[in-house]
A and B are shown apart, each in its own frame.
Chain A
Amino acid sequence: MEQHIGIRNTKSIIFKSVIVFFAFAITLPLMLVLLYIIKQGITQVNWTFLTHVPAPPGEKGGGIANALMGSVIMVAMASIVAVPIGIACGIYLSENPRTKLTYYAGLAVDILQGVPSIVVGIVIYVWIVKPFGGFSAIAGSIALALMMMPIIIRSTEQTLKLLPDSLKEAALSLGVPYHRVILKVIVPCGFAGILSGITLSIARIIGETAPLLFTALGNNYFSLNITGQMESLPHVIFNYATSPYDDWHDLAWGASFILLLFVLTLNIATKLLTRKWKIQL
């Protein structure tokens, strides 16, 4: 026993070093991506870049105002649809853990979450774009909403399941009707978790290009018309990066930087807000 202590200690040290190494290694790709995009993109960002539409090939300047606005509009519309539906489903799943509907709805959520985004795009193309006669921001928003919902449903469900039953009993014993118990006690107590699910889902879909290719398509001009084509950040990156013009490549880097900034801000804000609003049980 005693003579092996040294070897055993060495093994432990090696093991610890290995896990530390990989934990550190996992941060490297992120750092590299961040640094590269910031280096390439930050020089492109200025007031003109944010407030102008793209210039025609060959002309200097131009910006991504149309894409920025399009992304904001489509994400907002997708959220308006996905947040209430997602929270409602999440409440049902956490409140009724053992019904048949829970089993099948839960299965549907898992499968929906696994559907490749391009497939979502094609389906919406067939269901909405074709019958209603053209690409539109509405169709894009529906595709995005479909991708947001599973994330919101699961995070709402997980959050609410963690709340103790005693909380619900406290409210019920005061004669509070079920719907008010849920809306005034259960949901507020799980608010931080639900909110982080929502922001997570936004961060997830804001960079989605595939479902928008078949739905909102894109638009070189500034447009607030939700029944028409609309530009989005990921689409502008896709378009410009694959174009033959150097100016447009620069615009793509700038747009990437803005997109990244948006996702990072959203993630950090979520972390801070959930910490602040976290309810001490």
Chain B
Amino acid sequence: MENTIVKAENYNAYFGDNHVVKDVNISINKNEVIAVMGPSGCGKTTFLRGINRMHELIPGATAKGKILLDGENVYDMNAIYVRYKIGMVFQRPNPFPNLSIYENVVAGYMLNGLKLSKADKDVIVERSLTSAALWKEVKDSLHKKGTFLSGGQQQRLCIARAIAMQPELILFDEPTSALDPISTSSVENLFHELKANYTLIIVTHNMQQASRVSDKTAFFYMGELVEYDDTKQMFTAPKDERTQNYITGRFS
């Protein structure tokens, strides 16, 4: 049990009266890659955004139940601190357009007003960009704006920005859905390397991607967590009929 990093207990999320995540119980271990899949509108993204309390930023959005991060309920913590501790990568690459590549990587420190020495920043930038497999491509143009990069590079820059904060947990909200196949595979390869140091929760509607990158898969349907198991197990012998139907493409 001490290996658990995130644990949801009877977690419910709402948009106004619309009940989008229903009574989810899940326990996620450290240094694993978890794929969260399901059809559109099944609540997977909402669940993900509940973990770092981004969900409640949308007007009318509320949540009930507990999500424990290292044993502490994030809903008892300061939301800003929760978001600071947990990294997040979004569907569309969103580097800060007013900052250079270098500044984008240390944005988490800069924007929070944390002062770092130039040497410390250099170390963080190089380490984060290396981890995000972007260092070689951008090391000579660190002071150009991040928005000059290609979509795939921008997304890796956003991953570097999340890594720079040294989170234990990084949330990915359909991180490759706006990328071309080559960029997608470079980001997917990255997941395997990041696993050593971080726990990754990846929302995806791409089943092949889930099977390629994850250790465990959670299948959401109509707001419920239908099945949560080892990815291999789930894709070869799903226990629930609905999972079976989804995987075999009977609905999407």
Do A and B pair up? The answer is yes
A contact residues around B97 at 8 Å (CB): 167, 189, 279-281
Find out whether the CB atom of B147 lies under 8 angstroms from the CB atom of A180.
Answer: no
- Name, among B95, B97, B108, B158, the residue most crowded by chain A CB atoms within 10 Å (CB to CB): B97
Question: A167–B107 Cα gap in the complex (Å)?
Answer: 12
- Name, among A170, A175, A185, the residue most crowded by chain B CB atoms within 10 Å (CB to CB): A175
Find out whether the CB atom of A172 lies under 8 angstroms from the CB atom of B54.
Answer: yes
Question: A209–B201 Cα gap in the complex (Å)?
Answer: 64
Find out whether the CB atom of A170 lies under 8 angstroms from the CB atom of B90.
Answer: yes
Given contacts A172-B57, A173-B52, A174-B112, contact A167 B80 (CB under 8 A): no
Find out whether the CB atom of B92 lies under 8 angstroms from the CB atom of A185.
Answer: no
Q: Which residue of B lies closest to A277 (CB)?
A: B98
Cβ-defined partner of B96 (8 Å) among A98, A170, A173, A177: A170
Find out whether the CB atom of A172 lies under 8 angstroms from the CB atom of B83.
Answer: yes
A contact residues around B14 at 8 Å (CB): none
Cβ-defined partner of A177 (8 Å) among B52, B80, B92, B161: B80
Chain B, range 59-114, C-beta contacts under 8 Å to A: 59, 80-85, 87-88, 90, 92, 94-98, 107-108, 110-113
Cβ-defined partner of B83 (8 Å) among A174, A189, A279: A174
A contact residues around B88 at 8 Å (CB): 173
For residue B145, CB closer than 8 A to chain A, the reply is yes
For residue B165, CB closer than 8 A to chain A, the reply is yes
Find out whether the CB atom of B94 lies under 8 angstroms from the CB atom of A169.
Answer: yes
Find out whether the CB atom of A171 lies under 8 angstroms from the CB atom of B54.
Answer: no
A contact residues around B80 at 8 Å (CB): 175-177
CB distance from B142 to the nearest CB of A (A): 17
Find out whether the CB atom of B147 lies under 8 angstroms from the CB atom of A175.
Answer: no
Cβ-defined partner of B111 (8 Å) among A185, A279, A281: A185
Q: Which residue of B lies closest to A176 (CB)?
A: B111
B contact residues around A175 at 8 Å (CB): 80-85, 108, 112, 165
Chain A interface, number of residues (Cβ within 8 angstroms): 23
Question: A184–B59 Cα gap in the complex (Å)?
Answer: 23
Find out whether the CB atom of A185 lies under 8 angstroms from the CB atom of B84.
Answer: no
Find out whether the CB atom of B92 lies under 8 angstroms from the CB atom of A174.
Answer: no
Given contacts A175-B108, A280-B147, contact A167 B96 (CB under 8 A): yes
A contact residues around B165 at 8 Å (CB): 174-175
Question: A216–B59 Cα gap in the complex (Å)?
Answer: 47
Question: A270–B51 Cα gap in the complex (Å)?
Answer: 45
Given contacts A166-B90, A280-B147, A281-B147, contact A171 B111 (CB under 8 A): yes
Question: A95–B145 Cα gap in the complex (Å)?
Answer: 26
Q: Which residue of B lies closest to A98 (CB)?
A: B59
Find out whether the CB atom of A167 lies under 8 angstroms from the CB atom of B94.
Answer: yes
CB distance from B47 to the nearest CB of A (A): 16
Question: A184–B94 Cα gap in the complex (Å)?
Answer: 15
For residue A188, CB closer than 8 A to chain B, the reply is yes
8 smallest beta-carbon distances between A and B, as pairs: A175-B84, A173-B88, A166-B94, A175-B83, A174-B108, A170-B94, A176-B111, A188-B98
Residues in B lying within 8 Å of A, measured CB to CB: 52, 54, 57, 59, 80-85, 87-88, 90, 92, 94-98, 107-108, 110-113, 145, 147-148, 158, 161-162, 165
Residues in A lying within 8 Å of B, measured CB to CB: 98, 164, 166-167, 169-177, 180-181, 184-185, 188-189, 191, 279-281
A–B Cβ pairs within 8 angstroms, 26 of them: A166-B90, A169-B54, A170-B90, A170-B95, A170-B158, A170-B161, A171-B96, A171-B107, A171-B111, A172-B54, A172-B57, A173-B52, A173-B87, A174-B111, A174-B112, A174-B161, A175-B112, A175-B165, A176-B111, A180-B111, A180-B112, A184-B111, A185-B111, A188-B98, A189-B96, A279-B97
